[in-house]
């Protein structure tokens, strides 16, 4: 089983092709399985994020609290998406893995460690209007 670093190193950054714009398939959920699974594999297995939801053409990703989140953002952008929203959400009664927990005390909030999700919403560049 390869390590996370080996998986990340195996991504050919210059070979990550953008998704083909397909105006007949505007919703992410209607895209071919191979496209959706490729994105999910990169988000969850390689970079340890979580594909939290998709709505229409957009996807929402719970970002990992590791430095790898910057690589994850880069890969998603290389796939033809752009960031349209960043938000914090309290974890509440959920019990997510430690690598998905974020702290906001860096910005002056006094919260218990690992109290927030950090969500990024991405939309395909082909859907810009």
Q: 1-40 pLDDT, tens per residue?
A: 555 455 556 665 555 555 665 555 567 887 788 888 888 8
Closest by CA to 50, choosing from 98, 105, 111, is 98
pLDDT of residue 120: 92
In angstroms, rounded to a whole number, what is the distance separating the alpha carbons of residues 78 and 42? 12
Per-residue H/E/C for the chain:
CCCHHHHHHHCCHHHCCCCCCCCCCCCHHHCCHHHHHHHHHHHHHHCCCEEEEEECCEEEEECCCCCCHHHHHHHHHHCCEEEEEEEEEECCCCCCCHHHCECCHHHCCCCCCCCEEEEEEEEEHHHCC
Angle value at C-alpha 46, between 41 and 47, nearest 5 degrees: 110
Tell me if the pTM is above 0.85: no
- pLDDT of residue 44 exceeding 80: yes
| pLDDT one-digit tens code per residue, 59-115 | 999 888 877 778 888 888 888 888 999 887 777 767 777 777 776 655 555 555 567
């Amino acid at each position: 089983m390869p390590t996370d670093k080996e998986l990340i190193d195996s991504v050919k950054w210059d070979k990550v092709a953008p998704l083909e714009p397909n105006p007949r398939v505007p919703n992410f959920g209607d895209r071919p399985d191979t496209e959706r699974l490729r994105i999910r594999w990169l988000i969850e297995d390689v970079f340890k994020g979580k594909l939290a939801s998709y709505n229409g053409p957009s996807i929402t990703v719970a970002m990992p609290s590791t430095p790898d989140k910057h690589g994850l953002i880069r890969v998603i952008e290389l796939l033809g998406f752009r960031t349209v929203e960043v938000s914090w959400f309290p974890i509440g009664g959920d019990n997510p893995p430690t690598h998905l927990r974020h702290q906001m005390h860096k910005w002056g909030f006094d919260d218990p460690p690992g109290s927030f999700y950090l969500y990024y919403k991405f939309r395909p560049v082909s859907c810009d209007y």
